[in-house]
Amino acid sequence: MDLIRHLRFFVAVADERHFGRAAAALEMTQPPLSQGLRRLEQHLGVDLIHRTRQGAVLTSAGLALLPRARLLVDDAQRLLAESQRIAHSHGAVQWGATAALPDRMVTACVTALRTTVGKGAAVSTTVGATVDLVADVRAGLCDVAVIEHPALVDGVEAGPVVKVPRWLVVPSDHRIAVAERPTFPMLAGLAFVHPPRAANPPAFDTVVDLLRERGLDVPTVSARDDRALLAAVAAGASFGLTATPPSPTPGVTWLRMAPQAIALRVRVVRRPGADTHADAVDRVLYRERLR
């Protein structure tokens, strides 16, 4: 749980005494704000806000904890500012990429970022889950990150969405691998391999809904990255999606089906002041997506 982020929700609601106005102040929609505040209350074990028709009213626990919450949120902001100062003084770039981004695009982004910091400066890469990358950018631990879309991006600046080609990967001995006209319903009986839902709930739900729209309602199996995904597919009981281009892989067949629908949607998020780094990564995404 991102405690500082959820405390920021609490402070905003306490200041505005209204969920809608607090959401507007945080540049987000009201449902995730309300859900986040409930998660904070569950985590702390106390009710912080009474929800009424007139607005939001602090409980006795909320009144007692609000000063400490303000201190933590303010300290987090100061930590962010100090981390940015230190990073800039060393000329280093901290950036992150979703594990769904293919290797060629990760290395292309690193190469582009090197040009923004000059010779000898360090470029440090973190590959991880979208929710963690957004939290790192929000906290100042990353300057920029490439994340999956859709995702909750409150508290960070986000660029346009870019579509990256993605393929369906299936067991080589499955009937769909040799079908003249493969269809999604042919995948019935296989499990869908995908990063865990917790890595980015909106993107996970979107792709599951996409499969259901095409007549496929199957169980899901978690795989942390493409290596685990391809291993699960080669085992013969699963299929998945990958942005890694086709290559000779024992036990696995790549299929191009509904390319626009299954494309990997990504975007760049950045901390304030990291526009130069974000622009460099954006250019890579737009260039590499055409390959």
**Amino acid, single-letter form, for residue 163:** K
Which range marks the domain in which residue 30 is found? 3-84
* pLDDT tens by residue, 219-237: 999 998 999 999 999 999 9
278 and 141 share one domain = yes
283 in the same domain as 147: yes
First CA to last CA distance, the chain: 38
Do residues 176 and 255 both lie within one domain?
A: yes
* Same domain? 231 vs 170: yes
Does 172 share its domain with 256?
Answer: yes
Do residue 63 and residue 121 come from a single domain?
no
Where a domain ends, among 28, 61, 84?
84
For 179-222, list the strands marked E by DSSP. Answer: 191-194, 220-222
What pLDDT, on a 0 to 100 scale, did the predictor assign at position 73? 87
- Residue 71 belongs to a domain with what CATH number? 1.10.10.10
Residues 44 and 99 in one domain: no
Domain count, the chain: 3
- Name the percent of the chain lying above pLDDT 90: 65
Q: Same domain, yes or no, for 114 and 68?
A: no
Query: Alpha-carbon distance 146 to 161, whole Å?
Result: 10
**Is the pTM value of this prediction over 0.75?**
no
Q: What are phi and psi of 224, to 5 degrees?
A: -70, -35
Q: Domain check: are 31 and 78 in the same one?
A: yes
Mark whether 25 and 80 lie in a shared domain.
Answer: yes
Give the tens place of pLDDT for each residue, 126-141. 999 999 999 999 888 8
Match 């009213």 to its residue by tokens: 57
Q: Which of 59, 84, 109 delimits the end of a domain?
A: 84
For 154-202, write each residue's pLDDT tens digit: 889 999 999 999 999 999 999 999 999 999 999 999 999 999 998 999 9
Alpha-carbon gap, residue 6 to 212, rounded angstroms? 33
One domain for residues 173 and 252: yes
Show which of 32, 60, 84 is a domain's final residue. 84
CATH number at residue 275: 3.40.190.10
**Same domain, yes or no, for 116 and 245?**
no
